[in-house]
Amino acid sequence: MTNLRTRYRRSALSAAAVGALTLLAGCAKDAPQDTFQPAGENAREINNLQRPPFMIAGVVLVIVIGVVFLCVIKFRDRGQVIPKQTHGKPALEIALTIIPALILIGIGIPTVKTLFDLAKTSDTQCVVNVTGQQWWWEYDYPVQPGCLPGGITQPIVTANQMVIPAGQHVLLRITSRDVIHSFWIPKLNGKRDAVPGRVHTLRMQADQPGMYLGQCTEFCGLSHAYMRMEAVALDAPGFSAWVTNQLAAYTPPPAGTPAADGEAVFLANCSRCHQVNGIAGSDGKPVIARPDLWVYSGATPNLTNLMTRTTFAGASFDLLTPDCRAKLVDAKSADFTALYLKGVEANCLDAVQLREWLRNPPGKKPMYTDATKLGPTNGKTRGMPNLGLSENQIDQIIAYLAERK
């Protein structure tokens, strides 16, 4: 008997501990992808909408569970006579129909209003095209009068980190090049599917400069889990500086340096797929990448200003060392823009990750690159294949890329 009681007590304690831990996990202050910690007006609207129903649902849950337990304990079988059974209680049934209906109407009205608010495009101040493909995100900034006081006069293309001006109403036009993906940065808004051939819009606004993390939320193949995204909000002068830097003319590395050797290696091995704007071949003509001939999605990340962003390969790996990354992510809003605009400095470059990637990309992130299995894609890869680079070539490429900012 004592053993049984001890066992019950242990089970109850274990269940209570698990419940408490689950509850505590929901209170984490530093959860980077927490929809309950909105950092922009759109996410805040969603949060304001979802909290009251959660509370009502919580109260209903407690009442239902309480009544169930009460019935189980109070009316348990003690051998008593079964009470007279009755059928139908119109007043109760009407009440139990009307109360949920009223609750649903109460939830439905603000839900519809929020849906319309979140679909609004008329107050857009800045437009970014977002294109998903296996397994990274491309962001391009069309020529437009918005984003900056003078507008954007030349298109910009970047990858993995979407830079936006803090405080502005940014409209994302989301699509896909291959399969269905889904774009979600929980602190800034809800999710939106990226569907080939369709353009879906999503409002985005960040109150303060900072970094906001997200994750592809539609299973999209082998490396779905490695398809992340980061929204980087900069203050207005910082965003202007970022745009100016993105549109700056190409600076070739000084002759005779490892970076210059790296440029040659890049031209020979990487430029058929990866674009670096302004790079020229030995004949002096601009080199235009043709990923559409080699890659199933038809696109690869533009590497013109690789070191102005802090991640690579679908935002799965850091270009920054863990210390530098932590310093950036944890920076106060007022300090964030200046820190981010420094890009990846030499003392912060995590060359180990980049070296591992260049040595064998499919080994670091699963991708469909086995030449013998590419029949369905007509010989085109889904992701970056192993180029068989030597260690010397890898060092030279890293030296070259380290200057791309």
3-class secondary-structure state, position 60: helix
Residue 281 lies near another protein (rule: CB under 8 A): no
User: Does residue number 138 form part of the binding site for another protein (CB under 8 A)?
Assistant: yes
Both tokens of 135, joined, read: 């397994």
Q: Assess contact for 225 and 361: CB atoms under 8 A.
A: no
In the bound state with another protein, the residue whose beta carbon lies nearer, of 259 and 274, is 274
- Judged by beta carbon, residue 295 or residue 399, the one nearer another protein is 295
Tokens at 380, concatenated = 């085109």
Closest CA to 157 of 263, 243, 228: 243
Q: How far is CA 307 from CA 63, 233, 241, 276, in A?
A: 56, 17, 15, 12
The reply to whether 142 sits near another protein by the rule CB under 8 A is yes
275 binding another protein? (CB under 8 A): yes
CB of 52 to another protein, least distance (A): 31
* 271 Ramachandran zone, left/alpha/beta (phi>0; psi -120 to 50): alpha
Report how far residue 379's alpha carbon sits from residue 376's, in angstroms, rounded to the nearest whole number: 8
Is residue 121 within the footprint of another protein (CB under 8 A)?
yes
Closer by beta carbon to another protein, 3 or else 122: 122
Judged by CB, which is closer to another protein: 152, or 259? 152
Q: DSSP string of 250-309?
A: P-PPPTTSHHHHHHHHHHHHTTTTS--TT-B-TTSPBP---GGGTBTTS-----TTGGGS
Give the closest residue to 135 by CA, choosing from 219, 226, 29: 226
Residue number with CB closer to another protein (129 or 377): 129
DSSP string, 375-399: GGGTT-BBSPPP----HHHHHHHHH
Region near another protein per CB under 8 A, out of 45-53, 180-188, 194-202, 229-237: 194-202
Alpha helices (runs of H) in 161-257, residue ranges in sequence order: 236-246
Q: Is 131 in the site for another protein (CB under 8 A)?
A: yes
Instruction: Out of 101, 199, 248, 352, name the contact with another protein by CB under 8 A.
Output: 199
Using the rule CB under 8 A, give the single segment among 140-148, 208-216, 322-330, 396-404 that binds another protein. 140-148
Cβ 371 to another protein, closest distance in Å? 15
Q: Does position 291 bind another protein by CB under 8 A?
A: yes
CB atoms within 10 A of CB 304: 21
At closest approach, how far in Å is the CB of 252 from another protein? 17
Q: Looking at beta carbons only, is 36 or 294 nearer to another protein?
A: 294
Q: How far is the CB of 143 from another protein (least distance, A)?
A: 5
Query: Residue 281 or 363: which CB sits closer to another protein?
Result: 281
Q: Which is nearer to another protein, 174 or 324 (CB)?
A: 174
Residue 232 has, within 13 A of its CA and on its CB side, a CA count of: 26
- The DSSP H or E segment spanning 94 is helix 90-119
CA–CA distance, 301 with 315 (Å, rounded to integer): 11
C-alpha 238/C-alpha 9 separation (Å) is 59
Residues 145-184 that bind another protein (CB under 8 A): 145-146, 154-157, 171, 173, 175-177
Q: How far is the CB of 291 from another protein (least distance, A)?
A: 7
d(CA 305, CA 310): 11
Smallest gap from residue 389 Cβ to another protein (A): 21
Instruction: Using CB under 8 A, pick the residue from 297, 310, 311, 396 that binds another protein.
Output: 297
Residue 124 binds another protein (CB under 8 A): yes
Nearest approach in angstroms of CB 88 to another protein is 14
| Interface ranges with another protein (CB under 8 A) | 121, 124, 127, 129, 131, 138, 140-146, 154-157, 171, 173, 175-177, 196-199, 201, 275, 286, 288, 290-293, 297-299, 302
